[in-house]
């Protein structure tokens, strides 16, 4: 048995996977996000740790006792700050926090070769600009920073006492030379840090120490190796078998991602494309990222009070008429690809007194689909191969949303088994690989296909025109939100 743990934004998921690669036990524990000021997004690292324990203890006890290795996945970019004694200095600043936009511009001006070193634009979501902000706005905290850890790596440290990270997650900090798969001393110095502040780097399939005896006893798990793991998207790719050029997936979690695997480092910053290391040796990947995906549907459920998100998905699928309601800009926490605009705002356009909560929900599904299609266009503009797109994440439960997205992208979407637990499943696969008994080719296969959702010709034609209006709305309102 292999244990995979995913430290997400809205919750921690844990899965146990057997030798036949079947998910045999799952559990989860919720998390909440604090927004103390506009553009801010924070979580208490203690909540990750408590939720991790709750999720693991929620798994089948008999199967827990047979676990041979543990893998970790997690939300990327979060700045978790520890002092010399290991105490957390402040709430972690998350991936969808936009406070450091000015710092991104200052960093790029101070080091014009920044994009050449990192392969990425400086964006507020990345970790390095957060520390640049901290040094100026909270200097008393900054002076006590001894270690900066990503969310899953804080949990690893609590599990094992080891300061370690993997290439894929660390590539999203903006402190790495992504081509060389190593920390960049120039980028660290730009934010007043050194390698001593960083964890040791490992490939995602390498072991990084063992679970401590005390935690093992509390969780009912043996003392076993802990794989380096991966950022949530790279781990999701491992779980989906997206490990060869041309293979990709669409992730419908809190954020939305279009992910493409590659066997070479091919940066392209013109359209705000992310170029990171993959969670497996010798591989990289490109991503287009939008900051609100399933969270946009959660938002509609919250403001309308109509139903919980799961019920809202189902009700919308039964009652929606595509392309007839308002148009929704899904920029609830700013945007990355292709706009790189931390000040972008969400909006419903075209509301009338006749519109219902289900019309707003359908508008959210369509707005996210249009934003994802923008990202696909940018990836295609780079010459990237897109042979297949699988779907992972909580939003994969809605086939109706899949039809909306497939029609907006004009591309079929493949649904596979275990799609809802993709990153945790991938973390379990990385756990298996860290034992050194199996090859990547043998473990990282594509899970069985559940079904394929094809573009609907009528919806595709309707969305082509509607998406044009969506794009015009963003550009027409951008100056009003700066």
Catalytic residues: 232
Query: What secondary structure does DSSP assign to 321-334, as a single string?
Result: -TTSS-EEE--BTB
187, 414 contact by CB (below 8 A): no
- 218: tokens are 């509390």
CA–CA dist 289, 292 (Å, integer): 9
Q: Give burial (CB, 10 Å; 0-12/13-18/19+) of 227.
A: buried
Write out the H or E segment, with its range, that includes residue 141.
Answer: helix 139-142
Which residues, including other chains, have CB under 8 Å from residue 88's CB and lie 6 or more apart? 44, 45, 46, 80, 81, 82
CA–CA dist 299, 435 (Å, integer): 42
Which residues, including other chains, have CB under 8 Å from residue 411's CB and lie 6 or more apart? 376, 386, 389, 455
Which residues, including other chains, have CB under 8 Å from residue 102's CB and lie 6 or more apart? none
Whole-Å CA distances, 197 to 73, 82, 94, 191 = 21, 9, 19, 11
Pairing of strands 2-7, 69-74: parallel
> What is the separation, in whole angstroms, between the first and last Cα of the chain?
51
Q: Give burial (CB, 10 Å; 0-12/13-18/19+) of 301.
A: buried
Tally the residues of the chain. 482
CA–CA dist 118, 326 (Å, integer): 39
Q: Residue 323, by phi and psi: left (phi above 0), alpha (psi -120 to 50) or beta?
A: left
Q: Which residue has the tokens 């900090």?
A: 173
Q: How many beta carbons lie within 10 A of that of residue 210, not counting itself?
A: 18
390, 242 contact by CB (below 8 A): yes
CA–CA dist 11, 301 (Å, integer): 18
């Amino acid at each position: 048995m292999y244990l995979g743990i995913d430290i997400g934004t809205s919750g921690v998921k844990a899965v146990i996977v057997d030798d036949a690669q079947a998910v045999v036990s799952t559990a989860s524990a919720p998390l909440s996000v604090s927004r103390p000021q506009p553009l801010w997004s924070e979580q208490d690292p203690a909540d990750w740790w408590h939720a991790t324990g709750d999720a693991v203890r929620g798994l089948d006890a008999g199967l827990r006792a047979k676990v041979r290795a543990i893998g970790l996945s997690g939300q990327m970019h979060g700045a978790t700050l520890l002092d010399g004694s290991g105490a957390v200095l402040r709430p972690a600043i998350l991936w969808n926090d936009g406070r450091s936009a000015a710092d991104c511009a200052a960093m790029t001006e101070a080091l014009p070769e920044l994009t050449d070193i990192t392969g990425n634009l400086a964006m507020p979501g990345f970790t390095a600009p957060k520390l640049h902000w901290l040094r100026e706005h909270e200097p008393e905290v900054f002076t006590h920073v001894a270690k900066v850890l990503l969310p899953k790596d804080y949990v690893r440290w609590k599990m094992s006492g080891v300061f370690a990270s993997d290439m894929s997650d660390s590539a999203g900090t903006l402190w790495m030379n992504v081509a060389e798969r190593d920390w960049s001393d120039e980028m660290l110095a730009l934010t007043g840090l050194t390698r001593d502040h960083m964890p040791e780097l490992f490939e995602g399939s390498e072991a990084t120490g063992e679970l401590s005896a005390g935690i093992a006893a509390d969780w009912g798990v043996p003392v076993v190796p802990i794989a380096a793991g991966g950022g949530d998207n790279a781990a999701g790719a491992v779980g989906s078998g997206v490990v060869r050029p041309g293979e990709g997936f669409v992730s419908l979690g809190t954020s939305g991602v279009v992910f493409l695997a590659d066997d070479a480092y091919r940066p392209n910053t013109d359209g705000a494309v992310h170029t990171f290391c993959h969670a497996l040796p010798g591989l990289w990947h490109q991503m287009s990222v939008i900051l609100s995906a399933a969270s946009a549907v959660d938002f509609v459920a919250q403001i309308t009070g109509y139903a919980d998100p799961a019920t809202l998905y189902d009700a919308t699928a039964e009652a929606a008429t595509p392309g007839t309601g308002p148009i929704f800009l899904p920029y609830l926490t700013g945007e990355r690809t292709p706009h790189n605009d931390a000040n972008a705002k969400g909006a419903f356009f075209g509301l009338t007194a006749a519109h219902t909560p289900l019309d707003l929900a359908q508008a959210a599904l369509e707005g996210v689909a249009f934003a994802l299609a923008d990202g696909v266009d940018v990836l295609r503009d780079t010459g990237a191969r897109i042979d297949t797109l699988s779907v992972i994440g909580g939003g994969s439960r809605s086939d109706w949303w899949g039809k909306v997205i497939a029609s907006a992208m004009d591309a079929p979407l493949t649904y596979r088994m275990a799609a809802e637990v993709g990153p945790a499943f991938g973390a379990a696969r990385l756990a298996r690989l860290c034992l050194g008994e199996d090859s990547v080719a043998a473990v990282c296969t594509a899970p069985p296909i559940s079904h394929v959702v094809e573009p609907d010709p009528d919806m595709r034609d309707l969305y082509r025109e509607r998406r044009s209006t969506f794009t015009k709305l963003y550009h027409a309102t951008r100056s009003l939100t700066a």
